[in-house]
């Protein structure tokens, strides 16, 4: 199994916290967020890791030199495209089942393990409940994800996709095709989920939601997010990371 980590963004909404470093180099309990994600992947036997970089890419490259199995792919257009553009830059390196995740998102090991054990072509962990406008919202019908975007009305969504997914290698061709189409359409502001939606619309694959069941997860976009992650991160995740870092 492989993993692809989206880590190109600047994190400007965190202000001075990310003035001289990528967002995922922020430390929580003395450990960088990117290190938490690498240690999680390693704990579940995933060593073939692609990190898509942009802002301060050299910091990721220095980290990769110390850890076997990590390959950095630089997105030179990171200031002009959204996450889908970063996925597009690295799509040709994917050839096996893979985990997709954001470098600035953390989750409890229980969510990650349940995701890996779940059967389906795409497994999307979902935090069921009310969402805000910023959330990547989902609609579910018949045990399948039928819609995923940030633009749907909050009251019509079932919950928020947490930005971590397991994707079967059988989906790679269609996912890459969707990414290419969107880039040709100059959908440079599109998120990765724009390609996921096109895969869903084809109705050839089982795209399943996985309830997070109240376990910890946190995406860090704003200072308040960072404070909440620092306060709520579980000991199990800290201990997992400290074994390696």
Confidence check: pLDDT of 17 > 90: no
The pLDDT value recorded for residue 13 is 82
Residue 86: count other Cβ atoms within 10 Å of its Cβ. Answer: 25
Confidence check: pLDDT of 2 > 80: yes
> How far is it, in rounded angstroms, from Cα 65 to Cα 61?
6
Q: Range of 89's domain?
A: 2-242
pLDDT average, residue stretch 93-101: 98
Give me the helix-helix angle, 83-90 and 172-184, nearest 10°. Answer: 120
Give me the helix-helix angle, 235-242 and 109-117, nearest 10°. Answer: 80
Number of domains in the chain: 1
The pLDDT value recorded for residue 215 is 98
Structure letter (DSSP) for residue 56: B
Work out the percent of the chain whose per-residue pLDDT is above 90. Answer: 93
Non-local (6+) Cβ contacts of 242 within 8 A are 31
Q: Which two tokens stand for residue 213?
A: 């069941």
| Model pLDDT for residues 213-227, shown as the tens digit of each residue | 999 999 998 999 999
| Model pLDDT for residues 106-154, shown as the tens digit of each residue | 999 999 999 999 999 999 999 999 999 989 999 999 999 999 999 999 9
More confident residue, 110 or 16: 110
Could you tell me which residues are beta bridge partners of residue 218? 106
Please provide residue 78's backbone torsions phi and psi, each rounded to the nearest 5 degrees.
-60, -25
Closest listed residue to residue 97, CA positions, set 81, 72, 127, 118? 118
Q: Which two tokens stand for residue 219?
A: 């995406």
The pLDDT value recorded for residue 75 is 97
pTM for the predicted model, two decimal places: 0.96
| Model pLDDT for residues 24-60, shown as the tens digit of each residue | 999 999 999 999 999 999 999 999 999 999 999 999 9
**CATH code for the domain of 188:** 3.90.550.10
């Amino acid at each position: 199994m492989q993993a692809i980590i989206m880590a190109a963004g600047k994190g400007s909404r965190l202000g001075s916290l990310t003035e001289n470093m990528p967002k995922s180099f922020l430390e929580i309990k003395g450990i960088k967020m990117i290190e938490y994600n690498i240690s999680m992947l390693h704990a579940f036997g995933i060593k073939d890791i692609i990190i898509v970089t942009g802002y301060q890419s050299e910091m990721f490259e220095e980290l990769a030199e110390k850890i076997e199995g990590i390959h950095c792919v630089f997105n030179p257009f990171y200031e002009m495209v959204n996450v889908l553009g970063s996925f597009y830059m690295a799509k040709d390196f994917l050839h096996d089942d893979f985990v997709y995740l954001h470098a600035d998102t953390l989750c409890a090991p229980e969510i990650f393990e349940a995701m890996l054990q779940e059967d389906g072509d795409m497994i999307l962990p979902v935090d069921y409940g009310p969402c805000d406008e910023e959330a990547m919202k989902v609609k579910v019908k018949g045990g399948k994800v039928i819609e995923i975007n940030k633009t749907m009305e909050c009251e019509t969504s079932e919950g928020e996709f947490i930005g971590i997914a397991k994707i079967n290698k059988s989906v790679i061709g269609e996912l890459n095709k969707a990414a290419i189409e969107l880039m040709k359409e100059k959908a440079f502001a599109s998120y990765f989920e724009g390609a996921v939606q096109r895969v869903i619309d084809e109705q050839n694959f089982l795209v399943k939601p996985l309830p997070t069941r109240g376990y910890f997860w946190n995406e860090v976009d704003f200072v308040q997010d960072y404070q909440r992650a620092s306060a709520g991160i579980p000991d199990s995740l800290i201990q997992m990371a400290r074994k390696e870092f």
